[in-house]
Structure 1
Amino acid sequence: MIEVFLVVFPVFLVVGAGYAAVSFNLFKNDYADALMKFTQNFAIPCLLFNAIAGLDLSAVFKPALLGSFYTGSAVCFILSTLGARYLFQRRSGEAVAIGFCALFANSVLLGFPIVERAFGTDALGPITAIVSIHAPFCYLLGITAMEFARADGRALPDTIKVVTKAMFSNALMIGLLLGFFVNLTGLWLPQGIRDATEMMARAALPAALFGLGAVLVRYGIAPNIGETAMILFLRLVIHPSIALILASRVFNLSTEVTQVVVLTAAMSPGINTYVFANMYDRGKATAASGVLLGTGAAVVSVTIWLVILRAL
């Protein structure tokens, strides 16, 4: 248990360092925003580009792999939405925003560094396959549900048009698309370009983790802790449990791929859950609380899941 915890602890120590730096006024909030923009708009796109460009697509883009992960995502979204609507008596739009918190895992800022530390760089192939459709899948599902749930929004076709444009102008999506282009066309890149993107990629994860901790300072804890507890139970327990059953028992994936799928499914809610709630001005306090408390709770839950996975 201690050996496994030592794999996870440095990741959360960097997150905690960012949180402490802002809390004690050693690092300004404006700097945190700038650091997150650097990682999300430049460094992480380079990381994703490199991972996709050199990936054996036929080996990792398999329906069984994606099905093992995204079936659990969808189930948690439905359960969280229904729980918020009927258990906590939330309005329909608020329920969808809370459901999104259980849908969107922090697969990039936490998933990548934890998977790499736990299983090595070879494990980045399966998680890259998951991440490559994560935002499109989650946003398409969340936005469609939200537009059906609320009566005061714009027409669904107009919303889909706006969101599609926003997604494909997103730096992460551009990095992924360029990686796919290089991979599928076999385009030769000069050594200088490959070295430059590799340098940027190496800066991505530590900078993103520090920045994540720094921005978490501004989030508070929602007064209705029951909703947050429901989200975290679905996000940290139910989703990885479903992924484990499907990957190992239904689809018979290899132990190595199963470990990556389950550990990625065990990540806490990502910051995009707050972005989604803020976009619709619904469930913002619960989303912020889920990000903050979920990141802290993941220290324990990810360690436990690593123990379970290593027992496989």
Structure 2
Amino acid sequence: MSDVVGLVLPFFGLIFVGFLVARITRQPLDALGWMNTFIVYVALPALFFQLLAKTPFEDLTEWRFIFGSVVSTFMIFSLMFMGSVLTSRGEIAQSTIKALAAAYGNIGYMGPGLALLAFGEEAAVPVALIFCFENIMHFAIAPMMMALSGDEKTTPLRLALGVLRKIVLHPFIIATALGVGAAYIGFRPPVPVERFLEYLSRAAAPCALFAMGVTLALRPLNRVPHEMVPIAALKLILHPLLCYVVLSWIGNFSETWVFSAVLLAALPTATNVFVIAQQYGVWVQRASASVLITTCLSVVTVTGLLYLIRHNILAPDLFP
């Protein structure tokens, strides 16, 4: 158990340090803007590009793996969405945010750092693939569902162009595309450039986790919404379990790929869910609460999952 605690303690410790510093210094949330810009536009893209560019191209086209991980996430989204629609008598906008809270994990800020720490550089490829394709799904679903609810007043063409712009221009997806292209042609940057990318890559995880802790500290939790029980259960327990079963069923993937996908599925609600809720003015405070509560609970659930993996209690394939 000590090896698992040693693995997750620095990781969750950085989140706690960010939380504590934010509480002590009382800086406004806007003060985090340039750090978030550095993380999203510089550090994490450098990490994705550097790792993918070194990967054999054939490893980047595993469509069954992509299908399994994305379908698992969509099933969780659909389950929460349908349950919410039925209980709220057809409220689409709120149900969309609830479903995102149950399915959209923190695979950008938490995913790369924890997966690489737990499984090594081999985890970079599945993490990047999951990030790209799941974000494409989320970027498409959110505006489409808000349009169906009647809250998004825009033409279908403008809506489609807006979704396409978010996908094509996202820095992570651009970096991933460049990394895949570099792997395909066998391009390696000059040594000074590679050292520069390495320097930026090392800053990605610490900065992202610190920023996440600050964000959690500056979004106060007034009360625990009753919806948190199904959201937390779906996000932290059922999502990784479903991902594990689906990937075991549809193919024989390497141990690192399967466990990387399961770990990403087990991560808490993404801070982007709060951003989306704020953008549309729907379920804002409760979206913030879902990020905070699932993140706190994930200290236990993610640690437990890593214990099962590291001690070979969880088989790499349910159907060998």
Which residue is equivalent to 1:95? 95
Give 1:11-22 correspondences, 5 Å limit. Answer: 11-22=11-22
Q: Number of residue pairs matched?
A: 312
Alpha-carbon RMSD: 2.0
Partner of 1:106: 106
Calculate the TM-score normalised by the size of structure 1: 0.92
The answer on whether the counterparts of 1:50 and 1:198 sit within 8 Å (CA) in structure 2 is yes
Larger CA deviation: 204-213 vs 160-169: 160-169
The one-letter amino acid paired with 1:268 is: P
- Contact map agreement 2:139 2:166 (CA 8 A) in 1: no
Give 1:109-258 correspondences, 5 Å limit. 109-150=109-150, 153-221=153-221, 223=223, 225-258=225-258
| More off after superposition, 261-270 vs 119-128 | 119-128
**Which residue of the partner structure matches residue 41 of structure 2?**
41
CA contact (8 A) 1:80 1:98 kept: yes
Work out the CA distance in 2 between the residues paired with 1:224 and 1:199: 41
% same residue:
22
Shift of 1:64: 2.4
Change (3 A) 1:111 1:262: same
Could you tell me how far apart the structure 1 residues matched to 2:294 and 2:250 are?
Answer: 29
Q: Deviations 1:97-142 (Å, cap 9, x if unpaired)?
A: 2211222111121111111221122222221221222321221123
1:110/1:209 contact within 8 Å kept: yes
Q: Return the alpha-carbon distance in structure 1 between the equivalents of residues 99 and 162 of structure 2.
A: 22
Within-5 A mapping of 1:8-87: 8-25=8-25, 29-87=29-87
Alpha-carbon distance between aligned partners in 1 of 2:284 and 2:229, rounded to the nearest angstrom: 15
Aligned-partner Cα distance in 2 for 1:66–1:173: 15
Does 41-50 or 134-143 show the bigger shift? 134-143
Q: Write the deviation string for residues 196-219 of structure 1: whole angstroms up to 9, x where unpaired.
A: 111111111111111111111222
Report how far residue 145 of structure 1 moved: 2.6
Partners of 2:53 and 2:188 within 8 A in 1: no
Distance 1:75 1:249 in 2: 15
Which ranges of structure 2 fall in alignment gaps of 5 or more residues? Answer: 316-320
Partner SS state of residue 275, structure 2: helix
Tell me the distance in 1 between the aligned counterparts of 2:256 and 2:150: 42
Determine helix, strand or coil for the equivalent of 1:24: helix
Between 184-193 and 98-107, report the one with greater CA deviation: 184-193
Distance in structure 2 (CA, Å) of the matches to 1:28 and 1:152: 30
Following superposition, the deviation at residue 223 of structure 1 comes to: 4.2
Distance in 1 (CA, whole Å) between partners of 2:10 and 2:27 is 20
Distance 1:250 1:185, change over 3 A: closer
The equivalent residue for 1:294 is: 294
Distance 1:61 1:30, change over 3 A: same
**1:248–1:254 Cα contact (<8 Å) kept:** no
**Structure-2 separation of matches of 1:283 and 1:28:** 22
**Residues 50 and 69 (structure 1 numbering): CA distance in 2 closer, same or farther, change over 3 Å?**
same
> What amino acid is aligned across from residue 104 of structure 1 in structure 2?
Y
Instruction: Return the alpha-carbon distance in structure 2 between the equivalents of residues 307 and 88 of structure 1.
Output: 38
Contact 1:270 1:291 in 2 (8 A): yes
Q: Work out the CA distance in 2 between the residues paired with 1:124 and 1:205.
A: 13
Partners in 2 of 1:45 and 1:222 — Cα distance?
Answer: 35
Q: In structure 2, how many angstroms separate the alpha carbons of the residues matched to 1:88 and 1:252?
A: 41
| CA shift in 2, pair 1:57/1:129, >3 Å | farther
Say if 1:36 and 1:212, in contact at 8 Å, map to a contact too: no
Could you say which residue in structure 1 is the equivalent of 2:318? none
Q: Indicate conservation of the 8 Å contact 1:84/1:227, yes or no.
A: no
Residues 49 and 178, structure 2, Cα contact 8 Å, conserved in 1: yes
2:16 alignment partner AA: G
- Render the CA deviation track for 1:13-67: whole Å, top value 9, x for unaligned: 0000001001011766444222122111111111111122222232243122112
